[in-house]
């Protein structure tokens, strides 16, 4: 059984749009490439045809994985999130205890993660170390660079 993933409304819409694109123009482009390669003659020695068929297989695999992801996707109602502790979709302002640097992250599903936009995956080491914690709590998190201590300054949605 696949894991259930929670998404923002925007993230879920992006997944649906991507799947729609794969099923429509993506499949049409691959069918066109196969037809063009097929028209070039002998299929037993046609590298273009082989490449187009391989691309088709990869495309269908990606489509199937995205369909599975969507079937296990759940929309989180951000207005009902508990802000007393860190949860998926929480926006958390934390302070690095060692150097005093503060940063804010929103904890999102893996496919929505975008560090430049301040969105980190709930499966990342930092997010895992923050989940379930409350404002004022300090937590020591093992990251690739070693152990870091953070203090939770604020939780919002």
Distances (CA, A) of 125 to 6, 65, 131: 18, 25, 10
Q: Which residue has the higher pLDDT, 54 or 76?
A: 54
Q: Classify strands 119-121 and 138-143 as parallel, antiparallel or unpaired.
A: unpaired
pLDDT per position as a tens digit, 39-60: 887 777 778 888 888 999 999 9
The pTM is what? 0.59
User: Hey, which CATH number is domain 5-75, 1.20.120.350, 3.40.50.1240, 2.40.50.140, 1.10.287.180?
Assistant: 1.10.287.180
Residue 1 has pLDDT above 50, yes or no: no
The reported pLDDT for the residue numbered 93 is 94
Indicate the CATH number of 78-156 among 3.30.470.20, 3.10.50.30, 3.40.50.300, 3.40.390.30. 3.10.50.30
Where residue 151 falls among pLDDT bands split at 50, 70, 90? very high
């Amino acid at each position: 059984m696949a894991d259930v993933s929670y998404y923002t409304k925007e993230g879920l819409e992006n997944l649906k749009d991507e799947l729609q694109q794969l099923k429509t123009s993506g499949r049409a482009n691959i069918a066109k490439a196969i037809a063009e390669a097929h028209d070039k003659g002998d299929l037993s020695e046609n590298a273009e045809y082989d490449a187009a068929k391989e691309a088709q297989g990869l495309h269908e695999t990606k489509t199937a994985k995205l369909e599975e992801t969507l079937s296990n996707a759940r929309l989180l109602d951000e207005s009902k999130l508990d802000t007393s502790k860190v949860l998926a979709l929480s926006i958390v302002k934390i302070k690095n205890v060692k150097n005093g640097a503060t940063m804010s992250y929103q904890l999102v599903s893996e496919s929505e993660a975008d560090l430049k936009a301040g969105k980190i995956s709930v499966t990342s080491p930092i997010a895992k170390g923050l989940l379930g914690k409350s404002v004022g709590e300090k937590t020591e998190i093992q990251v690739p660079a070693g152990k870091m201590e953070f203090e939770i300054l604020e939780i919002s949605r």
